């Protein structure tokens, strides 16, 4: 098999499960460390000609991460494209199984079993409300029907905009503060919030700086995500 991945979390899942099949990945595919494949541009601006030149048997994509026009262009170039759709934790396991089988995995990997077990009954906080910014300038937050929102809900955190008409609404920071959440969850991707960039906008509110990989990726990180995220959330609420 020759596979090109347009999704960082799927890149990691494929690379650790079926070593050697990946021939191309995006510039944002940072896991596993030292991945040595041809870089084909970003998730939103892949270089179609470079991908086609790699002659992959399969291109792996995601309906949210990648643009329909790019996927259509890949198909028009004669390439097979497998598109995943993951809006919640339960969807992740069959979709990962489907991707890995399509990439030639002979067996279900142990990390996937461990991930499913970890999420079967994750340790949850007493219910807490939160706002979850994913960008600033302008401020954007998690809205309805998102994988990250489902992850947090399963850990006891209900975000204030879970029923917003948009999936990633732009909300002025004044309104975010006025929502009076118990907690502000600040991931390090797609915007890299840090201790010096983010918490200062929410004076008086506890802020949890969390790993974007554990919050938004579906792959090997799922196995440790309940523990890693839970620890960060609890530390912020102490």
pLDDT tens digit at each of 238 positions of the chain: 999 999 999 999 999 999 999 999 999 999 999 999 999 999 999 999 999 999 999 999 999 999 999 999 999 999 999 999 999 999 999 999 999 999 999 999 999 999 999 999 998 889 999 999 999 999 999 999 999 999 999 999 999 999 999 999 999 999 999 999 999 999 999 999 999 999 999 999 999 999 999 999 999 999 999 999 999 999 999 8
Indicate the pTM of the whole model. 0.93
Cα separation of 209 and 211, whole Å?
7
In a domain, 117, yes or no: no
CATH number at residue 18: 3.40.50.1980
In a domain, 113, yes or no: no
Task: Tell whether 142 and 229 lie within a shared domain.
Answer: yes
In a domain, 19, yes or no: yes
Give the number of domains in the chain. Answer: 2
Cα separation of 205 and 179, whole Å?
11
For residue 234 the two structure tokens come to 């609890």
Residue 109, helix vs strand vs coil: coil
**Following CA atoms 119, 123, 125, 129 in sequence, which dihedral angle do they give, to the nearest 10 degrees?**
0
Cα separation of 83 and 85, whole Å?
7
Task: Tell whether 157 and 212 lie within a shared domain.
Answer: yes
In a domain, 140, yes or no: yes
Q: Which residues, other chains included, contact 99 with Cβ-Cβ below 8 Å and sequence gap of 6+?
A: 10, 13, 14, 60, 82, 84
Show the domain range for 85: 3-108
In a domain, 221, yes or no: yes
Task: Tell whether 158 and 69 lie within a shared domain.
Answer: no
């Amino acid at each position: 098999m020759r596979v090109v991945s347009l999704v960082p979390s799927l890149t990691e899942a494929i690379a650790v499960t079926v070593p050697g099949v990946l021939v191309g990945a995006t510039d944002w595919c940072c896991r596993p460390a030292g991945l040595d494949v041809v870089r084909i541009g970003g998730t939103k601006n892949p270089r179609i000609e470079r991908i086609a030149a790699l002659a992959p048997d399969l291109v792996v994509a995601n309906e949210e991460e990648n643009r329909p026009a790019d996927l259509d262009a890949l198909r028009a170039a004669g390439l097979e494209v497998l598109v995943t759709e993951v809006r919640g934790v339960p969807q992740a396991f069959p979709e990962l199984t489907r991707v890995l089988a399509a990439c030639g995995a002979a067996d279900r990997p142990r990390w996937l079993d461990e991930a499913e077990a970890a999420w079967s009954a994750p340790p949850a906080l007493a219910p807490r409300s939160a706002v979850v910014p994913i960008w600033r300038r302008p401020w954007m937050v998690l809205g309805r029907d998102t994988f990250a929102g489902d992850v947090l809900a399963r850990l006891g955190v209900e975000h204030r905009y879970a029923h917003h008409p948009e999936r990633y609404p732009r909300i002025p920071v004044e309104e975010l503060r006025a929502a009076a959440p118990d907690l502000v969850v600040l991931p390090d991707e797609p915007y890299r919030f840090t201790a010096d960039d983010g918490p200062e906008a929410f004076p008086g509110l506890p802020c949890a700086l969390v790993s974007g990989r554990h919050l938004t990726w579906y792959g090997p990180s799922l196995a440790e995500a309940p523990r890693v995220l839970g620890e960060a959330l609890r530390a912020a609420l102490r």
